[in-house]
Structure 1
Amino acid sequence: MANITLGGSPIETIGDLPSVGSKAPDFKLTATDLSTKSMADYKGSRLVLNIFPSIDTGTCAQSVRTFNEKASQLENTKVLCISKDLPFALARFCGAEGLDNVISLSDFKTGNFGKDYGLTINNGPLESLLSRCIVVIEKDGTILHTEQVSEIKDEPNYESALASLA
């Protein structure tokens, strides 16, 4: 389990992120049109998984904006923004912000993504939401980079995540 903080108060996740060099676990997530998406839907593309607790917080919203800006410069790469928010909230946010270079997906139905990736928050006020993480996956499904952000309120290291794609 990862020991992280929320405003300096300790909380933890149910496990650890998959290790670099391992195969990324498959997933079934809900898109904003309520369709189900899995790894197979993105076959042949590199993936940046921008994972966060809720789009309705400043840091989460900023991570989606930042990756939207950077995604347009990435070759053969898709940025998947993943939370437990309802697909309607994700669509509303991206629509209002004019963000069309990222793909919003929700783990609200089963929570299996958070369990399989070891990043569901286990205790504290955000219990059962997803922790702030980045996972970068190569076209063949191999994990190139992971980051479990130690303080939920902090932004991820965008440069490090993107450098793993070079």
Structure 2
Amino acid sequence: LSTSVEGLFAAGEVAGGLHGANRLASNSLLEAIVMTHRALLSALEETSGRKENETEVPLWRAKGLENLIEHVSLKADREALQSIMSDDVGLVRRDERLQRAKRKISHIAEEIDRIWRRSKPTRKLVELRNMSIVSSLVVNAAISRRENVGLHYNLDLNHIDKP
């Protein structure tokens, strides 16, 4: 499906949600396939007859950066992020655990940023950096949500009376 950004199309789960917020991945798989097919058809229709953009993209500048030799810390940080997101930011949440996750993710993100600034990017480093950014966004969104909607449930919001 087309978005408000020219040339950007939404596909898969992000374009779905036809069955509401309470669907898990396997339940929405067919929906994701249908929405992806529709996005493909829209993209083909919108881009047919267009010339390719001839703009030259500059090569990555790696001057002054060192090769990333040590991958052990990347693996440990990846596993830590996965554990934090699973244990503290899962389906059933508490405010205190979300705040704890935010602090821990912030610390890991700072470490990743230190490595990022001095190293030539590798696939593993880029993926880890993206994971830390997405983890931070998810935690901040969960903290700012003050009502239980769909599948994600905050036990600390039970006491809030609905108008």
> Would you say same fold, with TM above 0.5?
no
More strand by share: 1
More helix by share: 2
Of the two, which has the highest radius of gyration?
A: 2
Normalising by structure 2, we get a TM-score of 0.24
Normalising by structure 1, we get a TM-score of 0.23
